[in-house]
Structure 1
Amino acid sequence: MASRGPVIAIAGLACETSGFTPSRTLAPAFHPLRGYEEIQGKYPFIRAGSPLGDAADWRGALIGHALPGGIVTRSAYEELAGEIVQRLQYIMDELSDQRLDGLWFDIHGAMCVEGIDDAEYDLLRRVRAVIGPDVIVSASMDLHGNVSRELAHQTDLITCYRTAPHVDVMETKKRACRNLVELLTQTSTVFDDSKPQRPLKAWVPIPILLPGEQTSTRLEPAKHIYEAVSEVGKWEGVLDAAIWVGYAWADEPRNRAAVVVTGWDQGAISEAAQHLARLFWDAHCDFAFVAPTGSFAECIDVALKSSARPYFISDSGDNPTAGGSGDVTWGLTQLLARPEFQKEDGPTVIYASVPGPDAVQKAVAAGVGSVVTVTAGAEVDDIHAGPVTMTGTVHSIKHGDKHAVTEVVLQVGSVFAILTKLRKPYHLERGFTELQLTPRQADIVIVKIGYLEPELYDMAKDWMLGLTPGGVDQDLERLGHHRIRRPMWPLDKEFEGEPDLLARIIPMSNEPLSGPDE
């Protein structure tokens, strides 16, 4: 590829991982993309012919994005991190007399690895050992990630989503790349040796740890807090601003909310970071769940009494897109035990979903229309309930899904239970309709999810958040954190005075980080 501007490498691993589920994430779950050709297929904004694509010479190492789940095994991490380092070394060798100018660090921020705290920092530390201290690093993250002091130090530019549910994923990643390209190509902020000046960084940790279901930007107070991020980004001397809610279902010292503001004026970025941190802290008592909540039984009772159809219920404790194992059977077991749904002419309920490879194989062998007895679930997480055995009619079969591989719908009474070979989140209407299900005509739709993703939210005529058990239990106190910093709202209700919300100026990445860990 001919050089067209600064040379920028691309690398990163992303996985939101719960420390409270027994499931483990293996290397294949990351579906690695290698080299520029594969990576640009995922990110069209860096393709040749696009403004950003033509503004730099993009060199792909490896990126991997796994479905949220359990802790990443050490062997999986070592395999993927080792390949990233190896591929970056190859890029460095290939450049020969050229230099690598930048790195886009494509991460989530809540990846937990066996035996490693702060996995994203550890990965970047390994990357820096290859690319050197002078390469400018721009990180893009999920707002449910964590920004430790060490990670803030090793990055030069860092940003995250500004919406939850995340409708600005591509916009955020593109912003991280645009900021990097603009920094590398501007001529007014270079040293005599032609190396770009690094932005200043102001970091404020905030002693708040909340689940995403209490911090949706659809609702107050998160709505006005995140609206302020864009406004602060327009301040004179500010390059970018970001607020991280943090990740509530892991237990590491870095798990908490944080603000980072980058820019050229130390006074401006400090004031901006403190302003955003103050907005967040001042609202800490105001965060509430995004919908009415109740036990699973209470949610079903309300749904049956309601005239709103379809009525959605979130089986939130085993949400696979927040880190749940996805194979907790507690909700489906409770549902099938309800007498209201034990006859085919009962209220129509769709339940998504429970993995059961053997159950799926048996249903596929029997075929659509056959009556089968199968057992599914609890192969990974049997803490809350054991496998569920059910007899029903095979309603539909679908092969070839990226996550599930094979999906089967089993009708048990008036319940249409989706069983999968491998776990899968159900966020889109076509996920149901491709299984010959009509969620808009169902009485109740139960999905393993937290807040409803946009298509489900628009489809639901009403909904409740079920406070169900699992690896991403919304009742944080029920989980039992031991290693996070204390005090931490809402696990701790009493604070001795106000928290320290003063901005910490983080040294540039090519300067040493000294002083106490915060």
Structure 2
Amino acid sequence: MREAPFRPRIGTGGMSIEASNFSPHRSGFEAFNFTKDAVLLSRYTVLDPEHANHDPAVADGAEWVPLVHARSLPGGMVEPAVYDALKSELIEMIHAQGPFDGFFLDIHGAMTVVGRRDAEADLAGAVRVALDQESAKAGTPRTLVSATMDLHGNVSAELVENCDLITCYRMAPHEDEQETKTRAMANLLTRLVEGTGAPAKAYVRIPVLLPGEKTSTRLEPAKGIYDAILPIEASAGIVDASIWVGYAWADEPRCYASVVVTGDDAALAATKATELATSYWDARADFAFVAPAADLDTCVDAALAPDAKRPYVLSDSGDNPTAGGSGDVTWTLDRLLNDPRFGHGGPRTVVASVFDSDAVAACFAAGQGSRIVVSAGARVDHVHSGPAVIDGTVAQLTQGDGTSGRVAVVRVGSLEAIITERRKPYHQISDFAAAGLDVTNADIVVVKIGYLEPELFGLAADWMLMLTPGGVDQDLIRLGHKNIDRPMFPFDTDMPTPDLRATVFPAKKA
């Protein structure tokens, strides 16, 4: 036990992006927001005295030292120069401001860097080495590292080995993001204050790779599997239990589902890790899409049915920008523009969105209310579609928001097509309001997403998931993974039952 009062010094930093290997988009410096100082700490509501999630025991129980964090919307693979810059700066800051008692590593788990593999393990390993060097120089105890992740991250044994505590979200959609970050911070603080050191870690790799749209915790079997975490976490000798679905649109050997249970009772942690992994494996064929799913024609027919409830939301899942799609695939928009059922007098249908700065500039030059013929989209992803020719009336021109840049809405028949200057997900009602649109009275809303985020879920009187092409195609088989470890479900449906015994990383006492 440490002598009281002990207020540990904890560094914070990391890098977060979900990067599709199957999108031609590349995430460069322009995609990332680098934060430091108070802006970095503002990412965590537990540290904010004005927020309902504020916990003085966590906020005031340590000196939280912000180093550097880089975050991007999901997109294509990361340019090596961006990753190298963040990594170098973070390591330099550890050496400049260390030693630290603890380190809070804020990562996603689905970052792929062009030409590299297992970027998060590489980053965690570099952080581990730098922290150990500073502790050795100062003659202080080994620094404890706590990592927080998305449940759609890919977890390798190397990543687990380089972190002392590791956890992830337990809800998809991720309504518990801040709760998870708070748990990771609180567990780290507790271990430091009590002087109990690093717990044992029991790790199981599960050879299953499924998209998030089939593993939403709103539905069974994922709901029941994740519900089983809480009683395990409450067990004596256990610190945390986590299940990662993995990220299906990466193509690396670390792409698979996984379980990590941490605790001072290594044997119990191993048993519980195997139990969770087995329940996931046993349910592999039971996972289904979070909503009725079908091809575009079937979904559009359902939305146009006379008895369809309004607003009817159609999820254009193949180009979901918050899963890694480029956001400018026009495959769906082009088909809707050429569907005579959306002519004048048809159902009011909002289509979000494509980005094309030149098309937006042309709309602004023409002016609101003007007729225009403009080519838009497919500037980045021209693999899955070409530009859409939009022949209509400029209905709205707005300054948009900080993500979208300027926004133009062009009305073609009963369609309202949203064009933005930059990549932009339309997942909240306020996103549409910034484009000058009220979607609460729309008949149909087409949005590039997978499962619906809470506000869209609340908006939808009914909805379907369209199985459309793009960088985050839900049909994993047709994507063509080349670097995952096989056999793997669902690629190998007749594979033998895997060995789900846990690999145990021993506890490291302070």
How many Å separate the matches in 2 of 1:276 and 1:128? 28
Tell me the residue number matched to 2:437.
437
Tell me the residue number matched to 1:514.
none
Structure 1 residue 83 and structure 2 residue 89: aligned?
yes
My pick for the range that moved more, 203-212 or 26-35, is 26-35
My pick for the range that moved more, 272-281 or 254-263, is 272-281
Tell me the residue number matched to 1:106.
106
Q: For the structure 1 residues 329 and 510, does the alpha-carbon distance in structure 2 shift closer, same or farther, using more than 3 Å as the test?
A: farther
CA RMSD of aligned residues (A): 1.6
1:202–1:269 contact (8 Å) kept in structure 2? yes
State percent identity of aligned pairs: 50
Q: Alpha-carbon deviation of 1:159?
A: 0.3
Q: Alpha-carbon deviation of 1:400?
A: 5.0
What's the CA shift string for 1:27-71, capped at 9, x where partnerless? 232201012x11122223224783312110111111111000000
Tell me the residue number matched to 1:406.
406
Q: Match for 1:150: what amino acid?
A: E
How many Å separate the matches in 2 of 1:87 and 1:367? 49
Runs (5+) with no aligned partner, structure 2: 50-54, 134-141
Q: Match for 2:187: what amino acid?
A: N
Tell me the residue number matched to 1:208.
208
Q: Alpha-carbon deviation of 1:124?
A: 1.4
2:400–2:435 contact (8 Å) kept in structure 1? no
> What secondary structure, in the 3-state scheme, does the structure 1 residue paired with 2:239 have?
strand
2:209–2:255 contact (8 Å) kept in structure 1? yes
What's the CA shift string for 1:292-327, capped at 9, x where partnerless? 111111111111014311111111000000000111
How many Å separate the matches in 2 of 1:510 and 1:451? 43
Tell me the residue number matched to 1:331.
332
Runs (5+) with no aligned partner, structure 1: 93-98, 190-196, 512-518
2:397–2:436 contact (8 Å) kept in structure 1? no
What's the CA shift string for 1:368-424, capped at 9, x where partnerless? 222222111111111121111112222222225121112111111110011000011
2:226–2:243 contact (8 Å) kept in structure 1? yes
How many Å separate the matches in 2 of 1:310 and 1:370? 28
Q: Alpha-carbon deviation of 1:431?
A: 1.3
Give the alignment of 1:496-511 within 5 angstroms. Answer: 496=496, 498-507=497-506
Q: For the structure 1 residues 398 and 118, does the alpha-carbon distance in structure 2 shift closer, same or farther, using more than 3 Å as the test?
A: same
Tell me the residue number matched to 1:73.
79
Q: Match for 1:325: what amino acid?
A: S
> What secondary structure, in the 3-state scheme, does the structure 1 residue paired with 2:286 have?
coil
Q: Alpha-carbon deviation of 1:135?
A: 1.1
Tell me the residue number matched to 2:139.
none
How many Å separate the matches in 2 of 1:184 and 1:220? 37
2:208–2:488 contact (8 Å) kept in structure 1? yes
What's the CA shift string for 1:317-345, capped at 9, x where partnerless? 000000001111111001101001122x2
Q: Match for 1:238: what amino acid?
A: I
* Matching residue within 29, 32, 50 for 1:30: 32
Tell me the residue number matched to 2:427.
427
Q: Alpha-carbon deviation of 1:434?
A: 3.1
How many Å separate the matches in 1 of 2:112 and 2:477? 20
Tell me the residue number matched to 1:321.
322
Tell me the residue number matched to 1:7.
9
> What secondary structure, in the 3-state scheme, does the structure 2 residue paired with 1:457 have?
helix
My pick for the range that moved more, 428-437 or 249-258, is 428-437
Tell me the residue number matched to 2:159.
151
Tell me the residue number matched to 1:516.
none
> What secondary structure, in the 3-state scheme, does the structure 2 residue paired with 1:128 have?
helix
How many Å separate the matches in 1 of 2:82 and 2:328? 21
How many Å separate the matches in 2 of 1:335 and 1:510? 62
How many Å separate the matches in 2 of 1:215 and 1:307? 26
Q: Match for 2:72: what amino acid?
A: A
My pick for the range that moved more, 329-338 or 228-237, is 228-237
Structure 1 residue 64 and structure 2 residue 70: aligned?
yes
Tell me the residue number matched to 2:52.
none
Q: Match for 2:30: what amino acid?
A: P
How many Å separate the matches in 2 of 1:173 and 1:146? 18
> What secondary structure, in the 3-state scheme, does the structure 2 residue paired with 1:45 have?
helix
Q: Match for 1:142: what amino acid?
A: D
Tell me the residue number matched to 2:186.
178
> What secondary structure, in the 3-state scheme, does the structure 2 residue paired with 1:172 have?
helix
Q: Alpha-carbon deviation of 1:203?
A: 0.2
* Matching residue within 52, 57, 63 for 1:51: 57
Q: Match for 1:126: what amino acid?
A: A
How many Å separate the matches in 2 of 1:110 and 1:70? 11
Tell me the residue number matched to 1:95.
none
Q: Alpha-carbon deviation of 1:86?
A: 1.8
Aligned length: 492
> What secondary structure, in the 3-state scheme, does the structure 2 residue paired with 1:86 have?
helix
How many Å separate the matches in 1 of 2:48 and 2:130? 26
